[in-house]
């Protein structure tokens, strides 16, 4: 899909001045439109940004956006959970626990307001309702506990055609041909056999190309 086919040349030049704010896909579309129309304008910065992103994709640096990091050479590949992602999981769990606790407390206060000694006021009712809603958000955030435990000591290690995954306390062995991508609704999932490993947005071109590159590297090394 070309995002800029209905833009005037002047509008395209204005977009070019803010190229740093564009997504990778938007940058590709913009460069394609400039080349198609043969607009006389310096696009070196745009081309450099595209080149840097493509290098990051080939080096699997974009995995950091998905919470992982990778090291590889011609014979081996290692993927582990990024430390910043682990920290974010912990922060989300702590915040989720606090919000869930606040929600539970205000739920009991709400019950007491109707059936106990807690005096009824409209302000209290609104406050309790908001706090209970916040508690619901907290319970959803606590789903991160499962993710944290699953990926706490996660590692994917490949040495030629030997592929081992440590996930959720299990040590699993695969062959490179087990690596695949599957789209489910709005998610793109990197899988080994039936085991879902990494989740990305199916609509994010940069993430999609990175997972495709990961699968390619696994199969080439093997």
Query: Per-residue pLDDT tens for 109-165?
Result: 888 888 877 777 888 889 989 999 999 999 988 877 888 888 888 999 999 999 999
Residues 133, 115 within the same domain: yes
Residues 155, 171 within the same domain: yes
Residues 173, 98 within the same domain: yes
Residues 30, 95 within the same domain: no
Q: For 114, what's the count of Cα atoms within 13 Å in the CB-facing half-sphere?
A: 7
For residue 18, being part of any structural domain is answered with yes
Domain boundary residue, one of 41, 56, 71: 56
Given a cut of 70, the residues of the chain with pLDDT beneath it are 1, 222
The rounded distance, in Å, linking the Cα atoms of 97 and 65 is 25
For residue 125, being part of any structural domain is answered with yes
What is the model's pLDDT at position 51? 97
Residues 149, 177 within the same domain: yes
Residues 88, 45 within the same domain: no
List beta partners, residue 69. Answer: 80
For residue 4, being part of any structural domain is answered with no
For residue 180, being part of any structural domain is answered with yes
For residue 2, being part of any structural domain is answered with no
Q: Residue 213 sits in which domain range?
A: 62-222
Measure the N-to-C terminal CA separation of the chain; round to a whole number of Å: 35
Residues whose CB falls within 8 Å of the CB of residue 81, separated by 6 or more in sequence, listed in order: 67, 68, 69, 151, 152, 154
For residue 1, being part of any structural domain is answered with no
What is the model's pLDDT at position 168? 80
What is the model's pLDDT at position 1? 63
Q: Hey, CA dihedral for 196, 201, 207, 213, is it positive or negative?
A: positive
Residues 114, 84 within the same domain: yes
Residues 83, 113 within the same domain: yes
Residues 113, 152 within the same domain: yes
Q: Considering the entire predicted model, what is its pTM?
A: 0.81
Residues 50, 98 within the same domain: no
For residue 3, being part of any structural domain is answered with no
Residues 81, 162 within the same domain: yes
Per the structure, the count of domains in the chain is 2
Residues 158, 71 within the same domain: yes
């Amino acid at each position: 899909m070309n995002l800029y086919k209905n833009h005037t040349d002047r509008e395209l030049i204005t977009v070019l001045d803010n190229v740093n704010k564009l997504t990778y896909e938007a940058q590709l579309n913009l460069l394609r439109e400039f080349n198609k129309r043969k607009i006389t304008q310096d696009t070196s910065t745009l081309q450099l940004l595209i080149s840097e992103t493509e290098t990051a994709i080939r080096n699997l640096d974009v995995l950091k956006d998905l919470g992982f990091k990778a090291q590889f050479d011609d014979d081996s590949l290692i993927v582990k959970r990024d430390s910043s992602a682990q920290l974010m999981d912990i922060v989300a769990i702590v915040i989720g626990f606090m919000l869930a606790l606040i929600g539970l407390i205000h739920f009991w206060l709400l019950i007491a307001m109707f059936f106990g000694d807690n005096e009824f006021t409209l302000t209290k009712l609104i406050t309790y309702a908001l706090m209970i809603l916040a508690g619901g958000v907290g319970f959803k955030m606590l789903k991160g506990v499962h993710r944290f435990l699953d990926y706490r000591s996660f590692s994917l290690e490949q040495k030629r055609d030997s592929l081992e995954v440590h996930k959720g306390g299990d040590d699993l062995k695969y062959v490179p041909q087990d690596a695949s991508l599957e789209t489910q609704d709005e998610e793109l999932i990197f899988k080994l056999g039936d085991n879902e490993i990494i989740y990305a947005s199916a609509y994010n071109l940069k993430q999609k190309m990175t997972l495709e590159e990961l699968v390619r590297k696994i199969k080439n090394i093997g």
